[in-house]
Structure 1
């Protein structure tokens, strides 16, 4: 496995540098081995791209995925349907259209322009562009969370036009940053975007003619076998035996022990020995481990062990921050008595702002020990990202800037793209950026100021996104892990504009999501780069796809929020109702912490958790020892594989991810990216990414089929203990401090 500097897999030895001949050979292809093994170095510039088939299948794919992901996102068991599903389905549809549509050219009335509904065989480039459309539909619209908490949690009105503009502008701001940084994050061969290799492998399997190996399988045959197997098996964890999604053996042995269940629960504890027999458990929160480089997996594993199995137990059982009053793992907020925090006591209903007197009369906000350290680690991760990129990639970025008109940092793919296609003019990006900034200001300042965020907050959020797009893009492009800006944006606006919950989440969305969208656009540009798609066609498809996806996400959420009675309120929903909105519940609690009460009363001088601010210093300093050792021992390639932002953020997905998700992700990732990669590299190169795509697609298809054929009709399978979506560790969420009374938990005296 190679790092962004081309270094090999994690080995505990010091090697001699590569020979000059090897460096010359790598420059003729790609310096990254996985890219050389996966991406073809051929191109046919004559293939049509933006055809009628591309537009028709692309817009439908984008709309369907956006609807399904938002629809399932409100449910107790959220389901994420990736663009891989559409990538598979549209191939036979495209070929059917090529076989049946008329080939005669149609002239647009009043113009000289004409087009054909069927310009020839359905080709690879059309398929890639349709998948880019689908990518837009499969990526959630973060701003919908704001709309949800306003209507379903705070029970306030919101102008639908303002809500629609919020969804559109937050998604489209990233185009400007993508245009600025594509030289570094797309053209550079060292920015290789590991997740794209899954789709490249699948495209090749679906389109390339290959001779089946003797006593073996073609890649397409292998994919179909995996797809059918995954599809067939998922009926068990999804419908017949849901408890196998999380199995915690420790809880089965010590049924009456709170401590044992805290240690063993894979859903509400530390997850020692917890497993899940479900691909969704493996990939739901952290993505496919098959698409994550081995060195990144080991960094995440190291951080996870240090935090979850060393720091958290020490902190909890030494009762730091009165940790024993609350669950060891929870994303909710509590009062000093161990009860769920009553937000209405500290929120002025008339002004929709913080009620200081109510707060003083009630209680400070308390967090579980896990949630406390989750915030601290997010502080450290952000600081370490800046420090790491400056130390390890700063010189490269500077040299790329100086050599922006040369070919020093080009590989064969970049040279082919420059030779065969015109680039996207920079003014396209800048014009769109200015337009969207204007609409964002209108969204927040207009409509009676319902979103509470003033103009300077919008501009500040946009500025933060600009600053962090490059360093976070470098991390994502080399490790397949993306640190977020959600916490730092909440912290900044919480200090500057406290007591305004909607201003806080709106600022977070403009600051965080425009950066995240830029990274997504750049990743799609790199996919087009690998597949030799004209850059202008990529830009147009991404733009239209974003507009369509944002509109469908908004419309679906508005429809559900206005038609499903008591949506997101489990206490009032009918028994067994799936509309519990678990992700939005976390979003709502964050709005309380950072928006209503504010960081000064949480992490400042008026709060309980001010020491968490030392994590910023920890993050800044953490990459320094690694950088020093890598300079001191330049031939020890394994030192450069220690990535401190990734290591620190090891358990950064918790919550909402659980220990069982991490356990299974590590098990699968280590097996395939170390054992299989080392011993069966030929099989790995041929089948690894196709295996990932087949598993994802099988799960998605079975989940959709089960819901629309059975669950929508309230046919929910047999009634038995294995149908509970639970690991049967009821005591894992109990407090252990004396005198704290919680329903369903033993009281400690």
Structure 2
């Protein structure tokens, strides 16, 4: 692909380009359809990259401070390897025995389209496999066995089911120039930096030179927060000043409190839960931070210090479940060990489940977010969806990228998507109805999960494609099956995964398709790579998790693990607690008439109504630009990642994102266009390489460095998790009389 200027601002180019300025500044508008794509190099490097990333991400995912390794390091490493293969492999065609097919191991120079497809493979390995959380919950937390065949099929079917209907929404979410998928611009920038010949500007650097400088700096720096001085991952100034005050620790802790005065000097902490702030549009960051501030600095403090839901008996921030006396909930008293269902007599003789005030309001806001998503998309995008529906019956021309793709390449037939759905749906029924019905979910549950995912894929896809944030279906799916099929935690987790992840996988498929759209990759090649990559990644995730769960003693059990053990599984603990709330005990006993949190259901109505006044205002004042940027689903879902995300993650993420995508973007647009996404990629890559080096060279060999207070990955606010109600005892906390 030939280089082209990133700055194309005249009127003629705007008409023949893309209406989104960030896309115009980043994505080239030319194509070379003669480039070989699905080559021997693509398959070998792609499959290895996919499997390697899947193994590493699952391995690190169980650790106290999980390291997420994106596809960016692979994107860098495979370039010299691909060029080496192009220089050394034989070019003579090799005929496949008993067929007319032949291929060459070396069809010519290693090109950018091969590189893109290898990265798509890597993206499959870099994504999460949600169903592994079910296996972990059952084996590590509930301490029960699970049939390996059923577990493997559960992983595969939940990852593949959404591909069946992703094809239905390609016209809306790929061909439309207004669905621009912001995160893809990071990888587009890096591809161009690695492949295009660029003349170094006077007194400056090329994008590749800049990327290498950032990578080396990030690599060298990460040894400080990652090994030598872990405390700078979360610095809480208030706690360091008032060391003996519970209230000060609750207000100041960035890990277990409200985070006032806290910040992080660790990029991995900044991007851990919300992704790169450099890849998120400024208006989306503003919406998220407005929602965060309203929740953390208004709703939670008022609720806690007025003792709503007896909040002072519990930590102000926690994802655990408690009994009425402020103690960890004793699950053995309410579960039948034989059939893995709720022991109603035991539950009635014990106490109702209690949540921390932040955790309970997080669920309420998730209700509001889902309702707001539907009303927001209907009001603000309903006309566009209808117009595109009509255009889909004809020939929609689209922007320059859509025209090039239609001109040069044959599209994926719709029946390919239908075939995948039929096959995977049948395997899903087998997974749940076979193997002694160990999964607990009946076949009608699969049908209902598919219906929910199908309904929400388009509205949530629109939000994802324009804001880089994805509201989840995890809570609403848990609630629906919890009411319809209560007392069965495994069925609840399975239904949630089939409903939520099939939608999420459809969006992942479409996101990668948009990357291929920008980079002019033949659609059929994209489809095949994504399908194979998903199977390879989910298989690797499963066997890595199974190996760790059966080989690491007391994995995920903080009470039995040795001091300093990293195998605490923080993300899976949230998943497990949710299965207790929604599956074992059920929403009727939590958010219904028999529970403590019935009033949280009003959030559904709040979410449905809130987008309406802002839509009315945009109609009344069409020239007020900021009104059009108010996105209620994003505001209400601002704290959707809490827990496991902490306040320090949000505070530092928001500050960095607003600085680069608001201040730098407005004042130094030329620098932003050349370097912003490359900066994000370089920071990610440096941390990934150093994180692996630290683990395998040092920590894996029990070389843990000098023991001192700053080495702990903690913000030194031990009292932040203490209850403040009189007479409630907690380990390490003063008893208040």
TM interval, shorter chain, is over 0.9
Partner of 1:62: 50
**C-alpha contact (below 8 Å) 2:397/2:403 kept by paired residues:** no
SS at match of 2:718: coil
1:176, distance to aligned residue in structure 2 (A): 1.4
**C-alpha contact (below 8 Å) 2:193/2:207 kept by paired residues:** yes
Partner of 2:6: none
1:743, distance to aligned residue in structure 2 (A): 1.5
Out of 85, 97, 103, the position equivalent to 1:97 is 85
Partner of 1:627: 615
The farther-off stretch of 111-120 and 500-509 is 111-120
TM-score normalised over the length of structure 1: 0.96
Query: 2:256 aligned with 1:264, yes or no?
Result: no
Distance in 2 (CA, whole Å) between partners of 1:457 and 1:26 is 48
Out of 287, 291, 299, the position equivalent to 2:275 is 287
Partner of 1:544: 532
Distance in 2 (CA, whole Å) between partners of 1:689 and 1:150 is 40
1:359-438 matched pairs, under 5 angstroms = 359-406=347-394, 408=396, 410-438=398-426
**C-alpha contact (below 8 Å) 1:300/1:646 kept by paired residues:** yes
From the superposition, tell whether residues 538 and 206 of structure 1 become closer, same or farther in structure 2 (CA, over 3 Å): same
Out of 32, 43, 68, the position equivalent to 1:44 is 32
Partner of 2:564: 576
Distance in 1 (CA, whole Å) between partners of 2:680 and 2:592 is 44
1:74-85 matched pairs, under 5 angstroms = 74-85=62-73
1:44-443 matched pairs, under 5 angstroms = 44-406=32-394, 408=396, 410-443=398-431
1:24, distance to aligned residue in structure 2 (A): 7.1
TM-score normalised over the length of structure 2: 0.98
From the superposition, tell whether residues 22 and 620 of structure 1 become closer, same or farther in structure 2 (CA, over 3 Å): farther
- Unaligned residue ranges in structure 1 (runs of 5+): 1-20
1:288, distance to aligned residue in structure 2 (A): 0.3
The farther-off stretch of 111-120 and 50-59 is 111-120
Partner of 2:493: 505
Distance in 1 (CA, whole Å) between partners of 2:392 and 2:573 is 46
1:658, distance to aligned residue in structure 2 (A): 0.4
Partner of 1:452: 440
Residues 83-126 of structure 1, C-alpha deviation per residue, up to 9 Å, x if partnerless?
11111110010000001000111111112211100000000000
Partner of 1:699: 687
SS at match of 2:35: coil
Distance in 1 (CA, whole Å) between partners of 2:438 and 2:142 is 13
Out of 680, 683, 705, the position equivalent to 2:671 is 683
1:744, distance to aligned residue in structure 2 (A): 1.1
**C-alpha contact (below 8 Å) 1:189/1:409 kept by paired residues:** no
Out of 697, 718, 736, the position equivalent to 1:730 is 718
Superposed CA RMSD in Å reads 1.0
Distance in 2 (CA, whole Å) between partners of 1:396 and 1:274 is 43
Q: Write out the 4+ residue segments of structure 1 that deviate beyond 4 Å after TM superposition.
A: 21-25, 405-409
1:215, distance to aligned residue in structure 2 (A): 1.0
**C-alpha contact (below 8 Å) 2:233/2:264 kept by paired residues:** yes
From the superposition, tell whether residues 23 and 622 of structure 1 become closer, same or farther in structure 2 (CA, over 3 Å): farther
SS at match of 1:732: helix
Distance in 2 (CA, whole Å) between partners of 1:485 and 1:108 is 46
Distance in 1 (CA, whole Å) between partners of 2:309 and 2:315 is 12
1:456-535 matched pairs, under 5 angstroms = 456-535=444-523
Query: 2:28 aligned with 1:28, yes or no?
Result: no
1:454, distance to aligned residue in structure 2 (A): 0.4
Partner of 1:613: 601
Residues 127-161 of structure 1, C-alpha deviation per residue, up to 9 Å, x if partnerless?
00000000000001100011111111111111101
Distance in 1 (CA, whole Å) between partners of 2:97 and 2:712 is 61
Aligned residues: 729
Residues 586-612 of structure 1, C-alpha deviation per residue, up to 9 Å, x if partnerless?
111000000110000000000000000
Distance in 2 (CA, whole Å) between partners of 1:740 and 1:250 is 25
Distance in 1 (CA, whole Å) between partners of 2:196 and 2:211 is 13
Distance in 2 (CA, whole Å) between partners of 1:408 and 1:208 is 31
Partner of 2:4: none
**C-alpha contact (below 8 Å) 1:168/1:551 kept by paired residues:** yes
